[in-house]
């Protein structure tokens, strides 16, 4: 549609895709030295499969982080969603649409609760979503002792089917990402997320209904977690309360930050996040193929994330009100 305007964040996003390419090249080289081939079909499938779950969560997370918020409850939301999906489907293909709708409703409600707590009660997002996460965890722990529900094989295909070496779930994730890119760029509410995260006072003074924007971001983030829960259900064939133990929310935040979105909000985007997700997936596949032990793997992951953020920090904005008067002049006598 309107494609000719230069993207303001292109520089950073391009940089991240460059980093992704670099990670791919280095990873491929490392694997090759080990006698393997990173681009073998099995490895490609592995890589792409890894992107989808974190991808859904990270897309939603991008929206809230852009608003200078956060959501630590997405892992629990996803786990609950997998249970809602599996128990509602109950092995019947006919129940799939209802289950999907119900999952989106429940996860959206959780998101709106998060948003309302943050926007209206003014609770710090970290604490607010830690709290809702704990509430969900308590519910999951007491209500579900193990897997529940049954996912019909039709829907399990969402977890396993591939077109060539590309899993359908990864395609769906990319479609959601594309929708999110469009949303942030072309709708008022999406565009205003940058303003709310950039400076909530400026946004308010420009007539933006800031609480509504924040609330919307959280609802969408919750729904993205819901889709992740659907994917979990499709993969496991059942609902799993224990899914939250994987701390998906931290992977999602890491991917968002790797993707160049500022934790302080107002800068970044979903395109970068997708690259961030891909970087993590490539690393994990490389580690897997090279059979690096789990501890070293986590150390390397941590190091990559810290390095990336340290690099971005140099590009951050300086909001000092004072402006240099003698930046270029030499001292001279009066």
Partner 1 sequence: MSALLAMRGIGKAFLGVQVLSAVNLTVSRGEVHALVGENGAGKSTLMKILAGVHTADAGTVELDGRAVAFTHPAAAQKAGVASVFQEFNLLPELTVAENVHLGHEPRRRGGIDRKAMNEATAAALADLGVDDLAPTAKVGTLSVAHQQITEIAKALSQGADLICMDEPTAALADAEVALLYRLVVRLRERGVAVLYVSHRLREIFDLCDRITILKDGRLVDSVATADITPDELVTRMVGRRIEAQFPPRLPGTETGDVRLRIEGGGNDYVDGIDLEVRAGEIVGLAGLQGSGRTEIAEAVFGITPFTRGTVAVDGRPVRLSRPRKAIAAGIALVTEDRKAQGLALHQSVKANARMVLDANARVHSRQRLGRIEGLLSSLDLVARGDDQEVQFLSGGNQQKVVVAKWLAAEPGVIVLDEPTRGIDVGAKHKLYSVIRSLAAEGLAVLLIASELIEVIGLADRIAVLHDGRIAGELPGGSTEQEVMAYATGRRSGPSDAEGSEPE
Nearer to partner 1, 139 or 183 (CB): 183
* Binding piece for partner 1, criterion CB under 8 A, among 30-38, 136-144, 249-257, 320-328: 320-328
Nearer to partner 1, 5 or 142 (CB): 5
Contacts of 297 (CB under 8 A, 6+ apart): 284, 287
DSSP SS3 for 34: coil
* Residues pairing with 148 in the sheet: 239
313 binds partner 1 (CB under 8 A): no
Crossing angle of the two packed helices 210-236 and 188-198, in degrees rounded to 10: 110
Site for partner 1 in 181-210 (CB under 8 A): 182, 185-188, 191-192, 194-195, 198-199, 201-208
Nearer to partner 1, 213 or 255 (CB): 213
Nearer to partner 1, 35 or 324 (CB): 324
How many C-beta neighbours within 10 Å does residue 294 have?
8
Q: How far apart are CA 94 and CA 89, in angstroms?
A: 8
105 binds partner 1 (CB under 8 A): no
Beta carbons of 304 and 279 less than 8 angstroms apart: yes
264 binds partner 1 (CB under 8 A): no
5 binds partner 1 (CB under 8 A): yes
Site for partner 1 in 141-170 (CB under 8 A): none
Q: How far is the CB of 165 from partner 1 (least distance, A)?
A: 34
Nearer to partner 1, 184 or 227 (CB): 184
Reading the block at residue 256, the tokens are 């968002």
* Binding piece for partner 1, criterion CB under 8 A, among 117-125, 169-177, 218-226, 324-332: 324-332
Pick from 61, 30, 41, 97: nearest CA to 287: 30
Q: How far is the CB of 57 from partner 1 (least distance, A)?
A: 24
* Number of residues counted as binding partner 1 (CB under 8 A): 43
Site for partner 1 in 37-96 (CB under 8 A): none
1 binds partner 1 (CB under 8 A): yes
Hunting for tokens 């929206």 — which residue is that? 63
Nearer to partner 1, 1 or 163 (CB): 1
**From residue 128, how far is each of 211, 218, 254, 276 by CA, in Å?**
15, 12, 20, 26
Q: How far is the CB of 75 from partner 1 (least distance, A)?
A: 29
122 binds partner 1 (CB under 8 A): no
Q: How far apart are CA 182 and CA 275, in angstroms?
A: 17
Alpha helices in 120-236 (DSSP H): 125-143, 153-160, 168-186, 188-198, 200-205, 210-236
Contacts of 238 (CB under 8 A, 6+ apart): 86, 147, 148, 149, 150, 151
Give the chain's length.
Answer: 334
9 binds partner 1 (CB under 8 A): yes
The binding site for partner 1 (CB under 8 A) comprises 1-2, 4-6, 8-9, 182, 185-188, 191-192, 194-195, 198-199, 201-208, 266-267, 317, 319, 321-327, 329-334
């Amino acid at each position: 549609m309107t494609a000719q305007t230069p993207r303001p964040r292109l520089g950073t996003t391009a940089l991240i895709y460059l980093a992704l390419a670099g990670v791919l090249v280095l990873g491929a080289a490392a694997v090759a030295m080990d006698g393997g081939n990173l681009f073998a079909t099995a490895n490609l499938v592995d890589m792409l499969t890894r992107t989808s779950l974190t991808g859904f969560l990270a897309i939603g997370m991008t929206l809230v982080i852009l608003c200078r918020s956060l959501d630590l409850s997405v892992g629990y939301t996803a786990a609950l969603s997998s249970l809602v999906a599996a128990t509602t489907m109950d092995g019947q293909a006919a129940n799939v649409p209802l289950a999907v709708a119900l999952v989106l409703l429940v996860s959206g409600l959780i998101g709106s609760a998060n948003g309302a707590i943050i926007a209206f009660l003014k609770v710090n997002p970290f604490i607010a979503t830690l709290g809702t996460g704990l509430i969900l965890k308590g519910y999951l722990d007491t209500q579900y002792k193990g897997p529940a529900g049954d996912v019909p094989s039709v829907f399990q295909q969402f977890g396993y089917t591939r077109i060539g070496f590309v899993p359908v779930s990864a395609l769906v994730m990319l479609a959601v990402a594309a929708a999110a890119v469009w949303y942030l760029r072309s709708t008022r509410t999406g565009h205003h997320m940058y303003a709310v995260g950039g400076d909530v006072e400026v946004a308010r003074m420009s007539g933006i209904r800031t609480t509504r924007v924040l609330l919307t971001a959280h609802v969408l983030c919750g729904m993205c977690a819901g889709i992740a829960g659907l994917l979990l259900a499709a993969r496991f064939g059942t609902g799993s309360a224990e899914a939250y133990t994987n701390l998906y929310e931290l992977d999602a935040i890491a991917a968002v930050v790797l993707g160049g979105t500022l934790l302080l909000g107002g800068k970044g985007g979903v395109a970068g996040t997708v690259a961030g997700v891909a970087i993590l997936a490539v690393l994990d596949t490389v580690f897997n193929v090279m059979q690096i032990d789990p501890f070293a793997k986590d150390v390397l992951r941590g190091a990559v994330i810290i390095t990336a953020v340290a690099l971005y920090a140099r590009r951050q904005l300086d909001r000092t009100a004072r402006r240099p008067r003698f930046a270029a002049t030499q001292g001279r006598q009066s």
